Amino acid sequence: MARRLALIALLAGVTVAPPIEAKTARPAPTKTKASRAKPKAEGKQVASKSKSKSKLKSKSKSKSKSRTSKRSRKKKREKKVPRIPDKTTNYSRNMPRGFHWPPTQTMKDAEKVCEAQLDQLGVTWEHAKPEGRIVDPIVVPSMELAGITYKSAYRRGPHKLDCQFARTLATIGTELHALGVREVKFGSIYRNTTVRVGGKSKNILSRHALGIAMDVVSFTDETGREANVAKDYPKDDPLLLSIEQTINASGKFRTVLTPRNDPKSHDDHFHLEAAVDYDAADVP
């Protein structure tokens, strides 16, 4: 048909435009496996990154938890040290030379010698009821030794102490009196507790429990001036420094614990502790 029309048009001198071919629709590009795989790979990378971040977070959390758990375990271990002696307390460490419990005959004989020496020093004393691990519990009703009066800052008397400690105070008293000391205010003498030093309790018996230690709060001189350990010792109070030096040099006491050498547990008092030797207890 198309050929006939073309022939007729040629004969008639008319040009006919060639027929327009219908455009074929291009098929939509299909997604290949590679293109489909790409977003998945990107998703995997994002997931892996998020997983690694979560792992880091969990690791840091576990580390912080382990640190806190270690601290808590440490605190628990510290809390286990009792302030009041119990079955776990070591009763043999930190004891004076020759000390045994119950007291041996040698210790009892030494206490008899101590009592005789108190009489010679002019100290009026009385026997007291047994308490704690005081070998020879006594009381000094006047609480006056070598011209120095001892007063409690918190409790009423009578104040129980071992004969050995009373004798030590009586013999050092003349030296303290010469420095001008007339009154000593103390926090405690006998106290059934464990040792506390450096802000921590140690699982050993304190010598307070033996009645041979005293915590001193202040010293008053002949003018009536009170030198307070907590307030005046940090200011290098001359009286307090001279007392510390005299006691340490006497050889009658163990080293005085002060706010300087133990600021955590002895920040407001002097800890005086008699250097008792039951193997040579007849020496005043």
pLDDT in tens, 44-89: 555 555 556 566 666 666 666 666 666 666 655 555 789 999 999 9
| pLDDT of amino acid 80 | 72
Q: Radius of gyration over alpha carbons of the chain, in Å?
A: 46
The position carrying tokens 């628990």 is 76
| pLDDT of amino acid 81 | 84
d(CA 157, CA 140): 9
Per the CB < 8 A criterion, the answer to whether 134 and 160 are in contact is yes
| pLDDT of amino acid 5 | 53
Domains identified in the chain and CATH numbers: 105-273 (3.30.1380)
* Residue 13: how many other CB atoms lie within 10 Å: 6
| pLDDT of amino acid 143 | 98
pLDDT interval class at 14 (50, 70, 90): very low
Q: For 258-274, what is the mean pLDDT? A: 97
Q: Which of 169, 215, 224 is nearest to 191 (CA)?
A: 215
Would you say residue 259 has pLDDT above 90? yes
pTM above 0.85, yes or no: no
Q: For 202-222, what is the mean pLDDT? A: 97
Residue 186 φ then ψ, to 5°: -115, 155
Per the CB < 8 A criterion, the answer to whether 149 and 218 are in contact is no
Q: Which of 172, 170, 169, 150 is nearest to 159 (CA)?
A: 150
Longest dimension (CA), the chain: 168
The position carrying tokens 């005081």 is 134
Kindly report, residue by residue over 147-165, the tens digit of the pLDDT: 999 999 999 999 999 999 9
d(CA 61, CA 253): 53
